[in-house]
Chain A
């Protein structure tokens, strides 16, 4: 069935998946386009990073001869908060606390992209070379 996948900072997208309780099975071929991760013999990989699937728990992560991958189980393995709203068929994979904490501890200001009042996109990295006072406020 089609579900909306919100994966980290990626834009929400519709994917064909098989939700089973707290597990979300994706076609392995769709995994990369949906998340950037790819199933390889050495594990689940993104760029230079590969995460081995625990050998004694492979059935939790892979089925159908490797054609189907449990993204929810992998998210939990990675420490990501995984939520699903079954009524609206939406799955949310957040950023792990460890990842956020490591970024802040590095003191490297995390980049982001947001629109201004006229809809023009700005990235923090556009202002490299200048001091930036990043000020958060709200109309509420």
Chain B
């Protein structure tokens, strides 16, 4: 695995986040993710490359419009499962932000989907292109994100904002961050990253939950079709 942190604040923010002593996860999150104290301790000393993507370069290349999202890439550098949510579901829609609790049936479904996704990854690791979870080229193309001109303009605005933020022009940067959000409202990566740069904690604050609750029929995480539609 290669983990990429889409963090404009850079390595200090990431390092501070994954320090074992700083990992005070809500009980609900630990329950859903299956994280016990041992797992959290291991998180602070990863055995795989953990990269820092301040400019959201991989976000643009692979269209990571939310996190966590994953791409499966085979030994030949071919995408066998394009960008999709990483074994997560829309449980956040059922979250009570004041108590940080969720209906039990939603919690259990979240656990089930996470377990199922991990098993799919294991199946691929063991079986390679024989895995039923490896998509045909046609299916992979069908599921691939298709950025359009507005998405490209949003990305350019984010990149310009990120550069200005890096050189200390915070207020000027915020203008471009706002434009990136306006151009690509479905990108939670742009929303939450730029909110956090505006004000620490804003990415998980009242504004975030208000926008999640206002999704209506839309998804926070698009459902994952774990198995291919056809055997072809």
A residues touching B (Cβ–Cβ < 8 Å)? 4, 6, 9, 12, 79-83, 85, 87-88, 90, 92-97, 100-101, 103-105, 107-110, 112, 114-117, 119, 122, 124-125, 127-140
Judged by DSSP, the binding face of A is mixed
Tier of interface size on chain B: 35 or more
> Complex Cα distance A133/B3, Å?
8
> Complex Cα distance A80/B189, Å?
22
Whether B52 contacts A140 by the Cβ 8 Å rule is no
> Complex Cα distance A140/B18, Å?
12
Task: Return the contact of A132 from the options B2, B141, B193 (Cβ within 8 A).
Answer: B2
- Chain A min CB distance to B45 (Å): 11
Q: Which of B71-79, B102-110, B222-230 contacts A (4 or more CB under 8 A)?
A: B71-79
Is residue B174 contacting chain A, with contact meaning CB distance below 8 A?
Answer: no
Q: Smallest CB-CB separation from B76: which chain A residue? A: A128
Q: Smallest CB-CB separation from B82: which chain A residue? A: A104
Is residue B21 contacting chain A, with contact meaning CB distance below 8 A?
Answer: no
Q: Smallest CB-CB separation from B157: which chain A residue? A: A83
B residues touching A (Cβ–Cβ < 8 Å)? 1-7, 9, 11, 13-18, 49-53, 57-64, 67-79, 82, 86, 121, 124-125, 128, 137, 140-141, 144-149, 151-153, 155-157, 159-160, 163-164, 167, 169, 172, 176, 189, 192-193, 195-196, 203-204
What would 24 A/B residue contacts be, using CB atoms closer than 8 Å? A4-B163, A81-B155, A81-B157, A93-B156, A97-B149, A100-B151, A100-B152, A107-B78, A109-B79, A110-B61, A112-B61, A114-B4, A114-B51, A131-B74, A131-B75, A131-B124, A132-B73, A134-B62, A134-B72, A135-B69, A135-B86, A137-B3, A139-B7, A139-B9
Other than the known A117-B11, A133-B72, what 18 A-B pairs have Cβ atoms closer than 8 Å?
A6-B159, A81-B149, A83-B157, A92-B156, A104-B82, A105-B141, A107-B78, A110-B62, A117-B14, A122-B51, A132-B73, A133-B2, A134-B62, A136-B62, A137-B4, A138-B192, A139-B17, A140-B203
